[in-house]
Amino acid sequence: MEKKNVFVVGCNGRMGKLVCDLIQKSKELTVAYGFDMNTDSESGINVYCHPITSLPCPTDVIIDFSRPDATMEILPLAVDRMVPMVIATTGFTDLQEESIKDYAKLIPIFKASNMSYGVNAVKELLKLAAQLFYDYDIEINEFHHRNKADAPSGTANMFFDTINASRNDAFVSVYGRTEKRTEREIGISSNRGGAFPGEHTVTFAGSNDFIRIQHFAHNPSIFAEGALNAALYIMEQTVPRIYTMDDYFKM
């Protein structure tokens, strides 16, 4: 079986290096080249940096673990070559999110705030918990390594959106609470420190008890593995649109 060529955006970043390492061990994929502000290449692949005006060689799929500005630079190049793309980057502005939706009208894009199977299983649990613990107050807490660029995390926002959609948009999110909570609020808080891959806790607090649903990432490889699975999945899709973990779970 001929291996598929992967273009890794953010290849010299924390997650990009993990993605490249896993691809090198894959029987189905190979790293064709990368894109990063740092063009050093410990693995021997060609690394391009800004500005990049076209995809330099044949590419079957793009995996993006970078920053929003890099994602937005690569997207039109993906459309130009009709290459499907996996976006694992977070922290986009509303305007950037709208642009991604426009690009997804032209190519298949797999987009997820968190590529971990476990996190997305928790998302399914939260849909049920939001219904079962109807009268409980809800708070979301997350803890990540000191170098994480965005806060709150994309996963924390995803958990809020999941709960809110399950309750017909009954809530508003409050980040960095400074006043007494109101009935319709879900508080989101962030902590940063050390090299911790990630922890997310959703608390349903009642008058006499509380229930917590937690996910601990012991090793960031779970996110890289999820991105590779997403790449294999998105290459099989022919309809241009945004695909998510919800689509993957329906396989």
Positions marked active-site: 144, 148
CA 207 and chain centroid, separation:
35
86 close to 226: Cβ distance less than 8 angstroms: no
Residue 88 near residue 244 (C-beta atoms within 8 A): no
Which residue from 3, 18, 74, 30 is spatially nearest to 226, judged by alpha carbons?
18
Any idea what the Cα angle at residue 185 is, between residues 179 and 187, rounded to 5°?
A: 70
What span, in angstroms and rounded, lies between the C-alpha atoms of 149 and 247? 27
Angle between helices 221-234 and 14-24 (to 10 degrees): 60
- Whats the size of the chain, residue-wise? 251
Cis ω for the linkage preceding 152 (within 30 of 0): yes
Helix (H) or strand (E) holding 125: helix 117-132
Measured CA angle at 205 (ends 196, 126), to 5 deg: 65
Q: State residue 36 phi and psi, 5-degree precision.
A: -165, 155
Residue 229 neighbours by CB distance under 10 Å: 16
